[in-house]
Chains A and B, each alone.
Chain A
Amino acid sequence: MLALIGVLAAEGGGAGATYQPVGWLLENVWLVPLLPAISFLLILFFGKRFPKGGSEIGILFVTASFVLALLTAGQWISQVNYADTHSTEQKACGYDAHREASGDGDHGEEGDHAEDADHAEDDDGDHSEDDEEHSLGDLYPGETAAGFASTSLFAEEGSGDSSAICPVIATTTWWSNGGIDFTVGTMVDGLTVTLLVVVTLVSLLVNIYSTDYVAGDRRYTHFFAFLSLFTAAMLFFVTSENILQMIVGWELVGVCSFTLIGHWWEEKANSDAALKAFLTNRVGDMGLLIGMIILFFAAGERWSTFEINALANAGEMSHTALLIASLCLLAAVMSKSGQFFLHTWLPDAMAGPTPVSALIHAATMVVAGIYMVARLYGVFFNGLSIGGSSINALALIGALTCVVGASLAFVQDDIKKVLAYSTISQLGYMALALGVGAWTAAVFHLMTHAFFKACLFLGAGSVSHAVHSFDMKKDMGGMRKFMPHTYRTFLIGSLALMGLPPLAGFWSKDEILAGTGGWGLFGGTGGNGAYTFTLVMGIAAAMMTAAYMTRVLYLTFYGEFRGGHHDDEHGHADDHAADAHADTHDAHDAHHGDPHESGPRIIIPLYILAFLGSVAGFLNFPKGFQLVPKSWQLRFEHYVEPRPDTGYFPKIAHAAPSWSLAIVATALVLVGAGLSYLYYFKRVNRQSPMATELVNGPTSRNGLLKGGHTILKNKYYLDHIYDSGEPTSTAMASVVSTLFGAIAGGTLLVSLANGLDINIGWSAIWAAMLAAVVAIIVNRALITGIGIADFTKTKFAQAAYWVNQNVLDGFIDSVGRGSVKTAEVVYHRIDQGIVDGAVNVAGRASTGAGGELRRTQTGKVQQYATVMFAAATVLAGLLFVFT
């Protein structure tokens, strides 16, 4: 698809005589997030006046945004092509180069300053103007030093013959305070345009799908308004130029997910789920704030992601600062992207409407964490020492997550929860890929996963639309007969998720596995290190994925239909879609008896996503893949991955793909799927087409398996630790406190050991203060939450009631009575007496004066003349006297 766009854009761009290397949209990409934002406001204020309740506005604007995103992608591709075919004058994306591009006078001066710094030894004269900056530099030694050295470093790198494809940065100063410019702007590179296209496309399909899925909902307009805002927030996040903007976008995405997960807030479970998502993310957000603050100080008071990455890659930032910052940011990634052990909110977020789940899991919310790592990859790569290592925190967390998520997906009966755990597992894959240095593989998997996971979620929604439930064991089975279209697309999505060739999941998953470099044991080639552990975990997760998706396919689409038995107890707790429909849907009665296929507005997005999930993998054929022409290989990497000579992207090693690894991994996937197939399709089905598990299955015969099953059923007891009672909530508090406390304490110690580097010292003080606050707040909130609840119900409630009745009410009553008294006095004395009196006196005085004066107006001309002559005489006399 991207290649197609590239061709179109190249034709469009090449036709004009004045071809600009920098496309207009690349510099004005703010339009893309602006459109859904406008759409949000329009729907919110005028949506209900529109015939379709505002959904048409959302679809219109998101379509426009999608088209713009495609054009942006096209312009980016043209730009890369242009840079490939022309020898550009500017070899490196230098610090001052992009400052000049911003067109801001102040920045230009700063750029000159940095340029002068190249000749700092022999040219001191120019620096007399910059005394202020020098004094600042004394305070923060990192700043000037980093600025000088990075510039010279870019210059050295730029002398190479490879041409740099610089990200297009457009910034403007938002406000200045304390000598720091707070800028807003956009940064466009391959990563950004990938996300732009994926987000707008999935959002558009979800919008279309939702017009059917939530039809008749009581907050239909509200729903579409927040879909638009969600899209806008994510687009704002991915186009943001600096870390400050990223924080804003990050939180906006969080708020939108909160509102949408709690869309049906009338049921407590749903609003609880929304709260859980929000609060779990708060834990990580503290890490985000601390990490960003550390980065800001460590980079010499810079916000720009480009500069922070560039400084990190140039080795100008303290490795300790980078390590701590990336660990703090990792905490944020863990909460946002559902990494083990802060993933628990994500399955609960299934309480939201299914289209929202699709949007959250495919394109927006959870992708934000992965995107942040990819965007600040210079920080993570250097901070976690990804190159030449065999394990690091990010890879470890990712590897654990993909296995934990996959294992939990086995025991879920709710189809959406299976998919939720599957998302966790796949996000673990992406984190793992980033952790081992397989950057492109991670971004590629992000994209392919967005397509097939959105397809699966929307497919699950389509099934639940028909059977009014998400419970596979109770209400589904044999659905392939009733819903052939949903079945086909769901099957494609499942196979893509399993990673079977030639579907999209295979290519991205295989690239990740190869990228671990762990296959070197068997004669493969290394990537950035020998991450054998992550490779093993990744393959294990792939096997498990194949197995649980086979289970889902059987329980949902094969066997006999088990639903239709609870017609009377309609209004099932999970049955939101049905609830929404029960109010207004005319064809409601038709839902009983046999379920039927969903309408075209649901089916068409499914087919589009299934198609993309099938072919998206062809965008990035591995290098040396002999079955396709060489020009087809690594297209995605070519256009998306930033070149190291741009300065802001680390020099990562690309693992060579391995046929043997691909074959082994695929074989193991087939083994996983095959075992599951034998169990469900053969043994369970033979027992009874209605059965969902064997009566005397392995978990009831084998104690070890039974124990394992219980642990999985209880989700590794994480939720119990987090919120089930006072002693264990203390445990949760300790986990969180320890996490941040360790980071802060470690920072302090290391900064002391480093001889009190001021940058790190500042960061450490910030981090320690924030960590203490977080630990205290979280601790208090968790420990006292339950205690307060009990106390509130008894003694405290009575005391509060007494205080309310006697103290507060008495006070308020006396205040009220006092007010009445005061008002009476004021009315009679001041208002009536003084104010009105003054007005009346003025009136009377005028009347009296008029009455007196009118007597002089006799109308007799001679009297007037007398007065005039008298006055003239007097004046003449006065004149005579005074001269």
Chain B
Amino acid sequence: MYLAQFLLLSSVLFCIGVYGVLARRNGVLVLMSIELILNAVNINLVAMGAFTGNVAGEVFALFVIAIAAAEVGVGLAIVLLIYRNRKSIDLSQVDLMKG
């Protein structure tokens, strides 16, 4: 088994996710990019777990999936509310925290 392949895939997915989070303006796409980041981490956890013969990696991955589901639920609800208020989900226009 080659650990490097999984780690390579994981890092590619992570970088795509980071790019999406930082560069996309669509709120839903940002949420999807976050899912990519989380899944990159999941791949890492499972691969490491398999490589070391430790079940803790799979268990952790399951926790991450569960929390990711909750996170997406909250995130989509926020996006929905933003849409209702602004008729848009362009995150570049959401700058209420401007100093």
Q: Measuring CB to CB, which residues of chain A are less than 8 angstroms from any residue of chain B?
A: 853-854, 856-862, 865-866, 869
In the assembly, what is the distance between CA of A853 and CA of B99, in Å? Answer: 9
Q: Which residue of B lies closest to A870 (CB)?
A: B22
CA distance A854 to B98 in the complex (A): 8
Residues of B close to A862: CB separation below 8 A: 21-23, 30, 91-92
Task: Check A860–B22 contact: CB distance below 8 A.
Answer: no
Residues A861 and B91 in contact in the complex (CB < 8 Å), given A869-B18, A869-B22: yes
Q: Is the CB of B99 within 8 A of A860?
A: no
Whether A854 contacts B94 in the complex (CB less than 8 A), given A865-B21, A866-B22, comes out as: no
Contact B22 A859 (CB under 8 A): no
Nearest-Cβ distance from residue B83 to partner chain A, whole angstroms: 16
Give the A-binding residues of B (Cβ under 8 A): 18, 21-23, 30, 91-92, 94-99
Q: Is the CB of A865 within 8 A of B22?
A: yes
B94 CB contacts on chain A under 8 angstroms: 859-861
In the complex, 21 of the A-B residue pairs with CB atoms within 8 angstroms, ordered by the A residue number, are: A853-B99, A854-B99, A856-B99, A857-B97, A857-B99, A858-B98, A859-B97, A859-B99, A860-B92, A860-B98, A861-B91, A861-B94, A861-B97, A862-B22, A862-B23, A862-B30, A862-B91, A865-B21, A865-B22, A866-B22, A869-B22
Residues of A within 8 A of B91 (CB): 860-862
Which residue of B is nearest A862, CB measured? B22
> What's the minimum C-beta distance from A446 to chain B, rounded to whole angstroms?
95
A853 and B22 alpha carbons, distance in the complex (Å) = 22
Q: How far is the CB of A820 from chain B (nearest CB, A)?
A: 51
B95/A859 in contact, CB under 8 A = yes
Tell me the nearest residue of chain A to B92, going by C-beta. Answer: A860
Give the shortest distance, in Å, between A828 (CB) and chain B (any CB): 40
Report the separation of the CA atoms of residues A861 and B93 in the bound assembly, to the nearest whole angstrom: 10
A552 smallest CB distance to B (angstroms): 104
B82 to chain A, nearest CB (A): 12
On whether the beta carbons of B22 and A858 are closer than 8 Å, the reply is no
User: Complex formed: what's the CA distance from A173 to B23 in Å?
Assistant: 88
Contacts of A861 in B (CB 8 A): 91, 94, 97
Residue of A with least CB distance to B23:
A862
Q: Shortest Cβ distance from A597 into chain B, in angstroms? A: 98
Distance between Cα atoms of A857 and B97 in the complex (Å): 8
Rounded to whole Å, the gap between the CB of A865 and the closest CB of chain B is: 6
Is the pair A859, B21 in contact by a Cβ cutoff of 8 Å? no
With both beta carbons as reference points, the residue of chain A lying nearest to B96 in the complex is identified as A859
Cβ of A541 to closest chain B Cβ, rounded Å: 107
A860 touches B95 (CB 8 A): yes
* Interfacial chain A residues near B92, Cβ < 8 Å: 860, 862
CB distance from B37 to the nearest CB of A (A): 11
Closest 9 CB pairs of A and B: A857-B99, A859-B98, A859-B95, A859-B97, A854-B99, A866-B22, A860-B95, A862-B22, A858-B98
Chain A residues within 8 Å of B22, by CB: 862, 865-866, 869
Report the minimal beta-carbon distance from A528 to chain B, rounded to whole angstroms.
Answer: 107
Distance in angstroms from B71 CB to nearest chain A CB is 15
CB distance from A416 to the nearest CB of B (A): 94
Q: Which residues of chain B are near A858, meaning CB under 8 Å?
A: 95, 98-99
Besides A856-B99, A865-B22, 9 new A-B residue pairs in contact (Cβ under 8 A), listed by A number: A857-B98, A858-B98, A859-B94, A859-B96, A859-B98, A860-B94, A861-B91, A861-B94, A862-B92
Report the Cα distance A862→B22, complex, angstroms. 5
What are the residues of chain B within 8 A of A859 when measuring CB–CB? 94-99
- How many angstroms between the C-alpha atoms of A860 and B94 in the bound complex? 7
Point out the residues of chain B lying under 8 angstroms from A856, CB to CB: 99
- For B98, what are the chain A residues with a Cβ–Cβ distance below 8 Å? 857-860
Most buried by B among A862, A865, A869: A862
CA distance A563 to B18 in the complex (A): 124
A862 to chain B, nearest CB (A): 6
**Could you tell me the distance in whole angstroms from the C-beta of A877 to the nearest C-beta in chain B?**
15
How far is the CB of A437 from the nearest CB of chain B, in Å? Answer: 104
A515 smallest CB distance to B (angstroms): 107
Query: Which residues of chain A come closer than 8 Å to B95, judged between CB atoms?
Result: 858-860
Compute how far the CA of A866 lies from the CA of B30 in the bound complex, rounded to whole angstroms.
13
Closest B residue to A872 by CB, please name it: B18
Kindly state the separation between the CA atoms of A853 and B97 in the bound complex, as whole angstroms. Answer: 14
A304 to chain B, nearest CB (A): 83
